[in-house]
Amino acid sequence: MSDDAHQRNLWQCCKSFFSTKPAETVRETIEDLIEEANQSGEDQFSEHEQLLLNNILYLKDKKCCHAMIPRANIIAFHKDGTVGELADLMVTKGHSRIPVYGESLDDIIGIVHIIDLAKLLLKGEKNIKVGDIVTREIKFVSPSMRVLDLLRDMQANKVHMAMVVDEYGGIDGLVTIEDLLEEIVGDIEDEYDFEEQHVITLQEEGIILADARAELEEIKETAGLDLCSMIDCGELEIDTLGGYVFHIAQRIPSRGEIIDGPQGIKFRILEVDPRRIKKVMIIKPKAKKETPDA
């Protein structure tokens, strides 16, 4: 066989291989390249860049149910309430949009934006019923809808909030365009996001209950437990208990799951949602009793 014929056959083989290569293999190749780049010690990607790349890679399979605010946490307003009362609720909760319902939360009739209220309040019309001013239509989506598809749809139609409904038409949760973006870039907090009080409770010997957003320094000061002395938190840029547990587990754990930590410490997950750890029980190892010499 001539050299030209041999090169043509080789080219056809390569072309056939790459043209039939499944998408999963390409995804895995990208993941391997990211991992290899960081293991080489050259710091090819920062921690934030790794977070973005990994989130984008896994976003393909994420559904709305993974990004939504659960039904129990939805802040909504009854249609018979007044504009003044709704304005007070918006200020208290720090929300610029709130869904309005009729008979129950399953009967969502629309959304009121803070600008809609501002126009009426400037005119002194604070006693008007909210049900009379609802003009913004609400979008309903399935919990199985892909995050990327919903994000694209909300961008195209300039919609900022959607209600997630179950198979029976009941409200399962609420999702905003900010929630969808946070699946890619992480938590987005603005100046109107109210800072939660980080509660740290000392129980019986060796048991600590703490909010996942509690700073590691707060835990050290309150409970005398220096978690950062066990791993290099500074280099890993870990500040909170939730970030500490996430780093150890390398995922969002399930409610009730126990994660083994360094030096015999265990972390039991008490509260969690699809995007973050909320409350953790820290179980310190029991000190071994010294046995006297014979």
What CATH number has the domain bearing residue 234? 3.30.465.10
What per-residue confidence (pLDDT) applies to 9? 52
Where b means 16+ CB within 10 Å and e means fewer, 195-222 reads eeebebeeeeeeebbbbbbbebebbeeb
Quick one: 204 and 181 in the same domain? no
Cα–Cα distances (Å) from 3 to 6, 7, 10, 154, in that order, read 5, 6, 10, 56
Quick one: 209 and 122 in the same domain? no
What per-residue confidence (pLDDT) applies to 17? 45
> How far is the first Cα of the chain from the last one, in angstroms, to the nearest whole number?
88
pTM value > 0.85:
no
What per-residue confidence (pLDDT) applies to 40? 59
Quick one: 219 and 163 in the same domain? no
How far apart, in whole angstroms, are the C-alpha atoms of residue 83 and residue 42? 58
CATH number at residue 83: 3.10.580.10
Q: What is the pLDDT of residues 27-57, one digit of tens each?
A: 667 667 666 666 655 556 666 676 677 777 7
Q: Which domain holds residue 97?
A: 65-185
Quick one: 175 and 102 in the same domain? yes
Decide if 86 is inside a domain. yes
Quick one: 105 and 147 in the same domain? yes
Q: What is the pLDDT of residues 178-233, one digit of tens each?
A: 888 877 776 666 555 555 556 888 887 778 998 888 888 888 888 888 888 888 77
Helix (H) or strand (E) holding 157: helix 147-157
Quick one: 75 and 122 in the same domain? yes
> Total structural domains in the chain?
2
Which residues on adjacent β-strands are paired with residue 70?
173
pLDDT at residue 281 is higher than 80: yes
**Mean model confidence pLDDT for the chain:** 79
Backbone angles phi, psi at 173, to 5 degrees: 180, -175
Question: Quick one: average pLDDT of 68-89?
Answer: 89
Decide if 292 is inside a domain. no
Taking a C-beta distance cutoff of 8 angstroms, is the pair 173, 68 a contact? yes
